[in-house]
Amino acid sequence: MELLLERARAGGDLQEDEEVAYVDELERCWWAMTNAQQDEAERILSQSSLEAPLELGERDTTVTPGIKQPPRRKVLKAV
């Protein structure tokens, strides 16, 4: 994740020596993992996206300073 953030900050690409430092650290971490951990990491990375609900069932509200009201409220569904 840090590598992706650094690439974004740099406008897309890092200098080769900076990129190599991240790759070396990722390689070190990978080989420190057990086979089961590596398999689990590959399983997670092969998913197209992590599952999450499309709707959170909440809505943003206007908050007046000094009032103890949350900035987001749960939407109540009519039955």
Q: In the chain, what are the domain boundaries?
A: 1-51
- pLDDT category at 53 given cuts 50, 70, 90 is low
pTM strictly above 0.85: no
Round to whole Å and give the CA distance between 46 and 31.
19
Question: How far, in Å, are 5, 25, 33 from residue 15 at the CA level?
Answer: 14, 16, 28
pLDDT digits (tens, 9 = 90+) for 11-44: 888 899 999 999 999 999 999 999 999 999 999 8
- Summarize the chain as % helix, strand, coil (round to 5): 45, 10, 45
Please tell me what DSSP assigns to residue 77: P
Amino acid letter, 23: V
Q: Residue 63's pLDDT is what?
A: 78
Round to whole Å and give the CA distance between 3 and 44.
18
Round to whole Å and give the CA distance between 23 and 42.
17
